[in-house]
Structure 1
Amino acid sequence: MNAREWFRLPHWIGGLQWFFFIFANIIVIPITIGEAFQLPKEKVASLMQFSFIVTGLACLLQAFYGHKRPIMEGQSGLWWGIFLTLATTVQAQGLSLVELGGSLAIGVMLSGLITIIIGVTGTGPYIAKLFKPGVMSVFVLLLGFTLIQIFLKGMLGIPFGIEADDASIQLPVAALAVAIAIFVIVVSIKSRPEIRSYALLIGIVVGWILHVLLFGVETEQTSTTLSFGLFPLGPLTWNTGVVLTAVLAGLLNLTNTFGALKGSDALFGRATTNREYAKSLTITGFTNIASGMFGLVPYSPYVSAIGFLRQTRIVDRLPFIIGSSLFFSMGLLPPVGMFFTHLPLSIGSAVLFVAYLQLFLSSYDFLKQISLNSSNVYRVAIPTFVGAMIMTFPPHYFASFPIMLQPFLSNGLLVGILLAILLENVIDWEKIKA
């Protein structure tokens, strides 16, 4: 890489665009985790800081040593949904949030180790063959159901956790959140392409300002020093059901790596090599071991980065490296993390509610790759409807199952994906005619 390239203004402008893209995708995640696990502000600030540091570092490692493409490495939507769903269900199964956090840490680190083994041995492309278009369609749609449900609760002012059973919609908060969601949709549809790419960031800024003007700002005094501590969600605790659920989630999370790299092949004019897949998976594995230690949502390449690349046409690596470096540097400033803990959850949820509506289109794109008729529609209908229905069941419905199986069976996202994998790979649906 020519040293003169670092001083070109277009690269720095592109770097700022990457910085804001990474920022908009990461900023809300630590806040929702802190809310779900009932963490104090100081711990949420630490989660925020380490999210900045680990995300920036993960992106740089991928750019220099991994797949070497400008593809964001960020906290996975699949893992995010698993964290928040378990936080709202396991308490009904007799497990405290502290025990859940400790068990998740073990499961996340184990899944990171397994990902490293898959990367080092080069078996990733063979595993990818299990995730056919029918599986991916179900996966993306159920992931959308999971996250949209969470964001909608956040927009309406309904707290996370089992104690939320008696909660009600906070009308003033909900009204502002809905207005911001509509505003972001309008900006995304009506504005010029160069403005459209900042729709999420604009929504966060405008919504935050309006929230402060209408409802005031928290005056809670908190420390501005970075609190370093391992396992902030809870000390290491072994719960077989949670650990197995996390390990399975880690295996399913591999779909993001294959989706992001394979989906970007056309942009770079060549196919991703098996060696690049292996190096990318290895870095993701090490990053996820760090995630387990610091209480972060685990990582994977972002498929949504492909849309950003297409929209901005910034396909050079250098702007991505600049943006990632800026994001990493921000994590070294503790007051920054504390400042962003005050972002209203309802506003962050409203913005991400709009962002993740795009998952419906992604699911539809996968669905178009298979031939459906009245006789083989069961390949996607069964896992989709079963998974969606399980999401609506109260956690105590599963009390009759062995405790080890309850965290998995009560998770509609995981059950639906596993059903889809079995149905797609056991039955040859293409031979079934209407």
Structure 2
Amino acid sequence: MDWTSLKKTSVWAGGVQWLFFIFANIVVIPLTVGQAFHLDHDKIGSLLQLSFIITGIACVAQAWIGHERAIMEGQSGLWWGIILTLVVTTSASGMSLKTLGGSLAVGIFISAALTIVIGLLGIGPYIAKLFNDAVMGVFMLLFGFQLIQIFLKGMLGLPFGKSTDASIDLKTTLFSIVLSALVIIVSIKAPKRFRSYALLVGIIVGWIGYALIFHTKSMSHTSGISVKVFPLGNPKWNTGVIVTAVIAGLLNLANTFGALKGTDDMYGNETTKGQYRRSLTISGLFQGIAGLLGLVPYAPFVSSIGFLQQTKIVDRLPYIIGGFLFFLVGIIPPAGHFFATMPLSVGSAVLFVAYVQLFNSHRSFIKNVSSNSLNVYRVAIPVFVGVVIMTLPSQYFSTMPDFLRPVAANGLLVGIILVLILEHVYNWNQLEDDDQDHEQKAENG
């Protein structure tokens, strides 16, 4: 890493863009989780500032001593979706939010410990073999569906949680569509040297435009950071929630494998065993911290692939600058207060464009999976089942046992579990070879 590059304006511009990318990815998460658990404004504000501080430290730690790549370390989208789904499904069964929050904390601690052990023992590369091209292709597609669904809601002016009386805000929707189109135009039509900053342009222009059009009011100011352990509920034991959390923690490893494998071509080398070991250990440590502070657990962001493809900035230095600036935003209350006023629709519209690139990542994995009329099931079944479950109301799963319901109601989890089972209980490549042999014999008469 060339520290003399600090003198270059482009490096600092890239760092600022990383700051906004990290911010746009993170700011929505504590806000929605806090609202889902019915926390008051001060507690949500504390979660937000702690998210900034911990995320900034995690990003710098991964770039410096972890995987040593410009891959954002943040609150996992997989975990985020599962937690929001659990709030809906468990409330339907009569479980209190305090019990859910406390059980989640226990499950997160267990999954954090497992992740650290996997990292320290160096068995990450062996587990990574389970996540072959077919598994990663399905994961990228379903992960994209889940997150795009969240950001589309933000663009349409809909609440992120469950609401029966919500309706599309046409003014917000039109504004979001125009903003997304602007980001796409800049990333495609702007001079090559400016295309890398399309997301930054979108956030700045969108934020200013939103303030002028919608005449937004500032949030109330908080004077400092209040640290409270287990803000979502003291540790409790609920088998269904804890089992779901542990499964989520294990499947969350796909984020590490996806992010590192997905950037191998950009860095011109395959991820080493040491990178896997350090990355998983650091992720596990920050997962444990997240469980203690009521934050969504951490993992490398697969969406970083889309960001890197969009900006072409793969050097670590701008990323480290962005992570450090994000840390400063968290420890300076006025700065955190200012950034927290960014409209969710602006962040959603910009991230929508960045996350669409996950489809490219899906294609890069799935193109290595041979497919025909006999083995198409290996990918088609997990994708179709996962997507359909994502669209089903949580009430449909109320007849299932408590320990099974949280897993079964999450389309992303079900899809990943299905593709892992299908890939490793049957030799699909052998099926293809047998089919080719039959065809050749038929041609030879």
Task: Tell me, yes or no, if the aligned pair for 2:47 and 2:295 is still in contact at 8 Å.
Answer: yes
Question: How many Å apart are 1:432 and its aligned residue?
Answer: 1.9
- SS state at 1:300 partner: strand
SS in 1 for 2:152: helix
- Give CA deviations for 1:332-381 in whole Å, capped at 9, x if unaligned: 11122222332222222222222222222221221111110011111111
Give the secondary-structure state (helix, strand or coil) at the position aligned to 1:79. Answer: helix
1:420 Cα deviation after fit = 0.5
Over 3 Å counting, the alpha-carbon distance change for 1:209 and 1:39 in structure 2 is: farther
Answering whether residue 72 of structure 2 is matched by residue 72 of structure 1, we say yes
* Worse-matched range after superposition: 7-16 or 85-94: 7-16
SS at match of 1:165: coil
Which amino acid is 2:158 matched to? Answer: I
Q: In the alignment, what sits opposite 1:421?
A: 420
* Mean Cα deviation higher: 115-124 or 316-325: 316-325
Partner of 2:392: 393
Q: Deviations over 1:213-248 (max 9, x none)?
A: 233223553423222212233333332222211211
Matched, 1:54 2:65: no
Matched, 1:292 2:291: yes
- Give the Cα separation in 2 of the matches to 1:39 and 1:342: 18
Compute the TM-score of the two structures, normalised by the length of structure 1: 0.90
Structure 2 counterpart SS, 1:27 = helix
Q: 1:428 to 1:169 in 2, by over 3 A?
A: same
Matches within 5 A, 1:128-277: 128-162=128-162, 164-218=163-217, 221-277=220-276
Match of 2:113 in 1: 113
- The separation in 1 between residues aligned to 2:189 and 2:399, in whole angstroms, is 52
Deviation of the 1:10 alpha carbon: 5.9
> Match for residue 99 of structure 1?
99
Q: Secondary structure at the match of 2:223?
A: coil
In structure 2, C-alpha distance between the alignment counterparts of 1:243 and 1:112, rounded to whole Å: 12
Cα deviation, residue 253, structure 1: 1.5
Aligned pairs (5 A) from 1:316-331? 316-331=315-330
Secondary structure in structure 2 of the residue aligned to 1:375: coil
Count of matched residue pairs: 433
Distance 1:362 1:191 in 2: 24
Whether contact under 8 Å (2:17, 2:200) holds in the other structure is: no
- Report the equivalent of 1:371: 370
SS state at 1:74 partner = strand
Amino acid at match of 2:424: N
Does the CA-based 8 Å contact 2:154-2:345 persist in structure 1? Answer: yes
Provide the rounded CA distance (Å) in 1 between the counterparts of 2:177 and 2:425. Answer: 44
Letter in structure 1 aligned against 2:339 = F
User: 1:94: how far off?
Assistant: 2.1
Cα displacement (A) at 1:311: 5.8
- 2:357 is the counterpart of 1:345: no
Contact 2:85 2:406 in 1 (8 A): no
Distance in 2 separating the partners of 1:22 and 1:160: 19
Q: Is the 8 A contact 1:42 1:338 kept in 2?
A: no
1:322/1:110 Cα in 2 relative to 1: closer, same or farther (>3 Å)? same
For 2:156 and 2:2, locate their aligned partners in 1 and report how far apart those are by CA, in whole Å. 51
How far off its partner does 1:388 sit? 1.2
Output the TM-score relative to the length of structure 2: 0.88
CA distance in 2 between counterparts of 1:178 and 1:262 reads 32
Residue 23 of structure 1 is matched in structure 2 by 23
CA pair 265-354 structure 1, distance change in 2 beyond 3 A = closer
Once the two structures are overlaid, the 10-residue window that deviates more, 31-40 or 167-176, is 31-40
Matched, 1:39 2:39: yes
Q: Aligned partner of 1:203: which letter?
A: G
SS across alignment from 2:271: coil
Q: Which amino acid aligns with 1:366?
A: F
Over 3 Å counting, the alpha-carbon distance change for 1:175 and 1:320 in structure 2 is closer
Deviation for aligned residue 1:88: 3.5
Q: 1:186 to 1:235 in 2, by over 3 A?
A: farther
Inter-partner Cα distance in structure 2 for 1:309 and 1:124: 24
CA distance in 2, matches of 1:387, 1:314: 33
CA distance in 2, matches of 1:307, 1:27: 19
Q: Cα–Cα, structure 1 residues 328 and 432, in superposed 2: closer, same or farther, change >3 Å?
A: same
Q: 1:198 to 1:23 in 2, by over 3 A?
A: farther
**8 Å Cα contact 2:307/2:354 also seen in 1:** no
Partner of 2:382: 383
Q: 316-325 vs 117-126, which deviates more?
A: 316-325
Q: Write the letter of the residue equivalent to 1:358.
A: Q
Which residue of 2 is the match for residue 84 of structure 1? 84
Shift of 1:423: 0.2
Per-residue CA distance 1:56-77 (angstroms, 9 max, x = gap) = 2112222332223333222222
Q: Secondary structure at the match of 1:95?
A: coil
* Deviates further, 123-132 or 175-184: 175-184
Deviations 1:126-163 (A, max 9, x none): 1111111111111111112211222222222222334x
SS at match of 2:357: helix
2:440 corresponding residue in structure 1: none
Structure 1, gaps ≥5 residues long: none
